Copies of this chain bind each other. A is one copy, B any other.
């Protein structure tokens, strides 16, 4: 009986947010193709018992004009998502990496502060290897290790990168991913680390052309972005383990906001963090627990990243969740 009810819940339902998505946010032309790719990726990994995490990463671009010159953006280098992807793969997951175009990328992120041409050397002369371009491993001491790992991950087909630019693309691709992952049930995790805009201008209210500065100061009136977490948890991927992120600048309201999100959306976990301390301290909040995760300056010197601890915490919780789901179904 319970199994039946799960299947009914997983049936696509037309929520009010679905309607809004279709009306006010342009559907990217490749969404169906991407959805099939994600579904195939998930199915093939689930078949061999591998879990799949959908990571969102980077900020969303919110256009102010149809032919866009100006846009609203959210601060995010994509570092959290990119490093977490590596730790999920190390923990045995396959990763769909839904990220902002040109935001940080797993493995390559480790060299993002270096101009690659400063790390290359051209072999001169006529001898063997002349004309070759070689990496200077004094400049990039970890390159051989990282490249080896990157190639293992690529050869293993463990990382499926999908790009977005605008908020519209993000919303539609996230919905598609949730529907694509619904077939693997509780084996799927959502790790929603992207910095998504809360505000937008509907296409119908947007000027076509570049806003002219000669018209004087700018008054912008922006609408609320629909809370996509709600249909994601209830309708699109109701069996998945869902983790959202809460970033605040004011630490005094952080935990309250995190708990309120859990109450509202009824998902599994919120990673709560404050802008200034986000690389050293986060709180993982679930309906039953509150885990403070810390990396000290000493840890950082040893190369420890807080994402390793976040991923470790969540993969353990995901384990328990899968066990409970299985027990509940018996």
A residues near B, CB below 8 A?
61, 64-65, 67-75, 102, 105, 107-108, 111, 115-117, 120, 122, 129, 131-135, 137, 143-144, 146-148, 150-151, 195, 197-199, 208-211, 213, 216-225, 247-250, 275-276
Contacts and interface: CB of A to CB of B under 8 A. Distances in A.
A107 B117 contact: yes
Contact of A249 (B116, B148, B209, B276): B209
A146 B117 contact: yes
B72 A150 contact: no
Contacts of A248: 209-210
Contacts of A122: 144, 147-148, 151
Contacts of A117: 107-108, 146-147, 150-151
Contacts of A197: 70
A111 B116 contact: yes
Given A134-B135, A221-B217, A224-B213, A69 B247 contact: yes
Given A198-B213, A213-B199, A276 B115 contact: no
A198 B211 CA distance: 9
A190 B15 CA distance: 54
Contact of A116 (B75, B116, B220): B116
A150 B102 CA distance: 23
Nearest to A104: B102
A115 B133 CA distance: 16
Given A74-B69, A249-B69, A120 B105 contact: no
A68 B75 contact: yes
A276 B67 contact: yes
Contact of A132 (B67, B71, B107, B134): B134
Contacts of A115: 105, 108
A122 B150 CA distance: 11
Contact of A135 (B67, B133, B150, B211): B133
Given A219-B220, A224-B213, A120 B147 contact: yes
